[in-house]
Amino acid sequence: MTTQFTGQNFKDEVIDKSKTTPVLVDFYASWCGPCQMQAPIIEELSEELKEKAVIGKLSTEEYPEIAANYGIMSIPTLLIFKDGAVVEEMIGLRDKESLIQQIEKYV
């Protein structure tokens, strides 16, 4: 199951966990069509890569301050965190294979 990141768990679940395993964060909004198309891909990834990476989502509607901290201007935007910092930024809808390739670079 995909992790739902929040303002309360972002530091522990993203920043701290990325020190030992890559973390992919899907920044999305409920009204965003491409975000809705990305959602099932994120779900599949979270199941397939659960031993290798943390995969989750963060609502830009509920937590705009976190999105602003990372300069999120378009959604969906997917960030990969490693060692507490952003190492990859992907803007727009991405297919599962390209996401796996990006995550595998940091495993």
For 81-107, how does the pLDDT look when each residue is reduced to its tens digit (9 = 90+)? Answer: 999 999 999 999 999 999 999 999 999
Pick the CATH number of 3-104 from 3.40.30.10, 3.40.640.10, 3.20.20.105, 1.10.3720.10: 3.40.30.10
For 16-63, how does the pLDDT look when each residue is reduced to its tens digit (9 = 90+)? Answer: 999 999 999 999 999 999 999 999 999 999 999 999 999 999 999 999
Q: What amino acid positions are annotated as catalytic residues?
A: 32, 35
Phi, psi for 84 (deg, rounded to 5): 80, 5
Per cent of the chain over pLDDT 90 is 99
Residue boundaries of the structural domains of the chain:
3-104
Three-state secondary structure call for residue 75 = coil
CA distances from 55 to 25, 49, 89 (A): 6, 8, 14
pTM here? 0.96
